[in-house]
Amino acid sequence: MFAALGSSHACALEGGVSPYPAGAVGTNIAEMPPIPGLFALEQLSYSYSNGLYGNDGEKLPFRFHSSAFSATTRLLASYPFTLLGAHLYSQLVLPVVSLHTNVAGQRGTQDGLSNVTLSPVIASWSLARNLTFTSGFDIAFETGSYSPSKPSVAVGYTSLQPVVSLRYNAPNGIDLGVANRVMFNRENGETGYRSGTAYVGEFEAGWNIGKWKLGVVGAYLNQFTDDRNNGALVAGNRAKTLGIGPSIVYDGGKFNINLNYQQGIYAANTSKSNAVWLNVAIPLWAKPPGP
């Protein structure tokens, strides 16, 4: 959801940015409503970076600063039936981003719609008491305000992303979750650039204390195939990032609020970003429970 950097300096993944913002899931790993209905997750995020980093994780010697504010609406439909023991869902993600950049003294600003993502089917199984497994497939479409010549709030290509997640969440006890995502990126038709395939692992750990939960969240990105530029291999230029930070959750029953901060710990061939996330989950309509 965040923007392409639009810099002429070498970055892995086109523009140095993933088509999926690692860390966006927060504490919502494998957390699905157990009843049919329509639900919304509103996400507000502010992220900033003060440097680009090279292949060995060293900070590159030129001025770079970026900041982005995003407001994202995630709409989740929960269906009133099961398949092979799994509850079924669909999701639509609508991100709006305001981006500000300063690259070697050249300033830029762009506001607009980022890449819209659709999850046609998400399946969730209860494997045991407090243990949930989910599997889905995200399609991040080539949509939004994109320009090949300047920093943009959308990437200019489609990304296909299978996702599997596992969560153990005990009331008044431990909460552990991990989400695994692989990004298969299509070629950018305007530039002829194809970003390499990458893995994103998101994790959370915490302890439930009544309606509250204290813990940590984080994300790791590792690009494991090379980019291609008009068919030519861009060798030895793969992105890696790691971020982690504190998280607090309040469960109000009909709504859920999560505030977390993720500090960039490591970056290679991209920027090292720090981000604050505020996530509010609410039901728009839910089927009343049976008698």
Cα separation, 208 vs 202, in Å, equals 19
- Assigned domain for 103 exists: yes
Strand partners, 163: 136, 181
Residue 36 neighbours by CB under 8 Å, 6+ apart: 78, 79, 80, 286, 287
Give yes or no for a contact between 262 and 272, defined as CB atoms under 8 angstroms apart.
no
- pLDDT for the residue numbered 5: 44
- Assigned domain for 276 exists: yes
pLDDT, the chain, mean: 92
Q: Which of 7-16, 89-98, 120-129 has the lowest mean pLDDT?
A: 7-16
- pLDDT for the residue numbered 144: 86
In whole angstroms, how large is the CA radius of gyration of the chain?
19
**CA within 13 Å, CB half, 101:** 25
- pLDDT for the residue numbered 161: 98
Helix segments in 206-286, DSSP class H: none
- CA 21 from chain centre, in angstroms, equals 3
- Most confident range (mean pLDDT) of 22-31, 105-114, 231-240 is 22-31
| Count: domains in the chain | 1
Mean pLDDT of all residues in 72-91: 97
- Assigned domain for 8 exists: no
Q: Which of 112, 42, 44 is nearest to 76 (CA)?
A: 42
- Assigned domain for 76 exists: yes
- Assigned domain for 102 exists: yes
Q: Which tokens is 274 given?
A: 């720090």
pLDDT at 3 over 90: no
Q: Which of 119, 121, 277, 138 is nearest to 200 (CA)?
A: 138
pLDDT at 177 over 80: yes
Give yes or no for a contact between 169 and 130, defined as CB atoms under 8 angstroms apart.
yes
pLDDT at 7 over 80: no
- pLDDT for the residue numbered 207: 98
- Assigned domain for 88 exists: yes
Q: Which tokens is 235 given?
A: 């060798």
Cα separation, 219 vs 170, in Å, equals 22
pLDDT at 195 over 50: yes
- pLDDT for the residue numbered 181: 98
Query: What is the band of 21 on the pLDDT scale with cuts at 50, 70, 90?
Result: very high
pLDDT at 183 over 60: yes
- pLDDT for the residue numbered 44: 98
pLDDT at 1 over 50: no
Give yes or no for a contact between 40 and 76, defined as CB atoms under 8 angstroms apart.
yes
Q: Which of 14-28, 130-144, 206-220, 251-265 has the lowest mean pLDDT?
A: 14-28
- CA 262 from chain centre, in angstroms, equals 12
- Assigned domain for 160 exists: yes
> Percent of the chain scored above 90 by pLDDT?
81
- Assigned domain for 5 exists: no
> Percent of the chain scored above 70 by pLDDT?
96
Mean pLDDT of all residues in 145-149: 86
pLDDT at 9 over 80: no
Mean pLDDT of all residues in 237-254: 95
- pLDDT for the residue numbered 291: 54
Cα separation, 186 vs 109, in Å, equals 26
Q: Please, what sign has the CA dihedral across residues 257, 86, 165, 22?
A: negative
- A 10 A CB-CB count for 6 gives 23
- Most confident range (mean pLDDT) of 51-55, 100-104, 185-189, 236-240 is 185-189
Q: Which tokens is 198 given?
A: 């990458």
Domain hosting residue 134, numbered range: 14-286
Q: In CATH, what number is assigned to the domain containing residue 213?
A: 2.40.128.130
- pLDDT for the residue numbered 104: 83
